[in-house]
Amino acid sequence: MRLAAIQDLLQCTVLTGADGLNLEVETAVASDGMSAVLASPHPRALLITGLTNIQSVKTAHVADIAAILYVRGDRPNEKTIELALQKRIVLLGTPLGMFDACGILHAHGLRGVV
C-alpha cells in the first residue's frame, strides 16, 4: 500500500518526507514498545505508534522501517523530526487512535508483521 493511500485513508498530516509518499509499504507493526519492534527487521514496513520521542525514529532506522505513523494527534519534537529527515524516514500523523488506524489499514489490505 502506498503511503499516499494511507495518508488519505487516515486523514494524515505529513510531518516529513512528502517526496516519499509514493513509497510502498508491505506490512505494518503497531506498538509503543520499541523493544518489541526491534525483535526482528521489518523492511518496507510502517510503524504505527503513539511514542513520539526520538527513540521511535532510532528504532525505525535500526529495524529498516520505511515510515512512522503517529496516532492520537501526537506530534514528535523538532529533534525527532530532524533525525527522521537525516535517516529519510517518512513521518505521518493521524488524529485516529491506534486501534482505529490499524483496523482501517487492515480492512484495506495492509497486513501485520508475522
Q: What is the per-residue pLDDT across 3-15, written as a single tens digit (0 to 9) for each?
A: 999 999 999 999 9
Write down the pTM of the prediction: 0.95
Q: What is the per-residue pLDDT across 44-61, written as a single tens digit (0 to 9) for each?
A: 899 999 999 999 999 999
Q: Is the dihedral of CA 29, 104, 66, 87 positive or negative?
A: negative
- 114 falls in which pLDDT band (50, 70, 90)? low
Cell 525527532 sits at which residue? 80
* Dihedral pair phi/psi, residue 45, rounded to 5°: -110, 160
Instruction: Set out the domains of the chain in order of their start, with CATH numbers.
Output: 3-105 (3.40.1390.20)
Q: What is the per-residue pLDDT across 57-110, written as a single tens digit (0 to 9) for each?
A: 999 999 999 999 999 999 999 999 999 999 999 999 999 999 999 999 999 999
Query: Are residues 73 and 95 in contact, defined by beta-carbon separation less than 8 angstroms?
Result: yes
